[in-house]
Amino acid sequence: MKKVEKKAVKAQVAIPAERNYDVVVVGAGGAGFAAALTAKALGVSVILLEKMPQVGGNSLISGAEMNVAQSWI
């Protein structure tokens, strides 16, 4: 089986040197997305930042369990 190498591709979009936002959310996991969507729904300008190449954070590896009150966890 042939091994395929994956390389990051740099976006060819001109990004402004400076932008202003009302809310900056760091981390695109479940909580980050919820915060960004809530802020956007309230009508403010939002940017959502993620350091990893994919979004999801710890929500990707949670296996659908949530550490909340009265759960088996």
Tell me how far apart the alpha carbons of residues 57 and 48 are, in angstroms, rounded to a whole number: 13
Res 8: pLDDT: 62
Residue 46 belongs to a domain: yes
pLDDT computed for residue 73 by the predictor = 65
Question: ∠ at Cα 34 (28, 40), nearest 5°?
Answer: 100
pLDDT at 45: 96
Q: Is residue 40 part of a domain?
A: yes
- Give the pLDDT score at 1: 58
Can you read off the two tokens belonging to residue 65?
């369990």
pLDDT in tens, the chain (73 residues): 566 666 666 667 777 789 899 999 999 988 899 999 999 999 999 999 988 888 887 777 766 666 677 776 6
Query: Would residue 14 count as lying in a domain?
Result: no
| Among candidate residues 6, 56, 61, the one with its CA nearest the CA of residue 28 | 56
Structural domain count of the chain: 1
Q: Which two tokens stand for residue 64?
A: 């659908």
The boundaries of the domain holding residue 33 are 23-52
pLDDT of residue 32: 92
Question: Is residue 27, in this structure, part of any structural domain at all?
Answer: yes
